[in-house]
Amino acid sequence: MVYGSEERGVGIVPQLVIGAFGSRLRQEDFPPRIAEHPSDLIVSKGEPATLNCKAEGRPNPTIEWYKDGERVETDKDDPRSHRMLLPSGSLFFLRIVHGRRSRPDEGSYVCVARNYLGEAISHNASLEVARKSANALLSDELVWSVHVEALGVVGPFQGVDELN
């Protein structure tokens, strides 16, 4: 139902709209829009990470996250979850989980903001787990050799314990 505005005295009474579910639309209400889209991330396994998302709307929109088209379970669904939905709408990972057979955090994410006037969907953001490259391994060995040389240790050894 829509009731038009009518003149009463000096001003005009704002239009009153009754929605499909009987809720009243107020003139200052507006549908959600994404104010900050998430960005692609490359994160090391076991490290924390945050995918940012901020939305505007009136009433304030609720935020949900989806990974590869499936809704993401957060601490709101399961208090034991390593993923937290922050008050801002961002998705915080206490630690990135990544194994040989299971890669539950790696994928393509979107945040969806909803209120009774509609929904807004963010751009896609990929979360990738960093892989150690040959250069990184070489770099680790070089740093380790410099430490060994600085300590003045000579000769073959099996591990770090022999340096102490």
pLDDT digits (tens, 9 = 90+) for 102-138: 788 999 999 999 999 999 999 999 999 998 765 554 4
155 with 125, same domain? no
pLDDT in tens, 18-61: 444 556 667 899 999 999 999 999 999 999 999 999 999 999 99
152 with 120, same domain? no
34 with 112, same domain? yes
Q: Tell whether the model's pLDDT for residue 15 goes beyond 60.
A: no
Burial 1-35 (b: 16+ CB within 10 A, else e): eeeeeeeeeeeeeeeeeeeeeeeeeeeeeebbebe
Look at residue 93 and give its three-state secondary structure.
strand
Residue 59 lies in a domain: yes
157 with 89, same domain? no
Q: Tell whether the model's pLDDT for residue 12 goes beyond 60.
A: no
81 with 52, same domain? yes
Tokens of 160: 């770090």
137 with 91, same domain? no
- CATH code (residue 85): 2.60.40.10
pLDDT in tens, 72-104: 999 999 999 999 999 999 999 999 998 877 788
Q: Is the pTM of this model over 0.75?
A: no
Domain that holds residue 50: 30-131
pLDDT of res. 23: 60
82 with 158, same domain? no
40 with 108, same domain? yes
45 with 103, same domain? yes
Residue 161 confidence class, pLDDT cut points 50, 70, 90: very low
Report how many domains make up the chain.
2
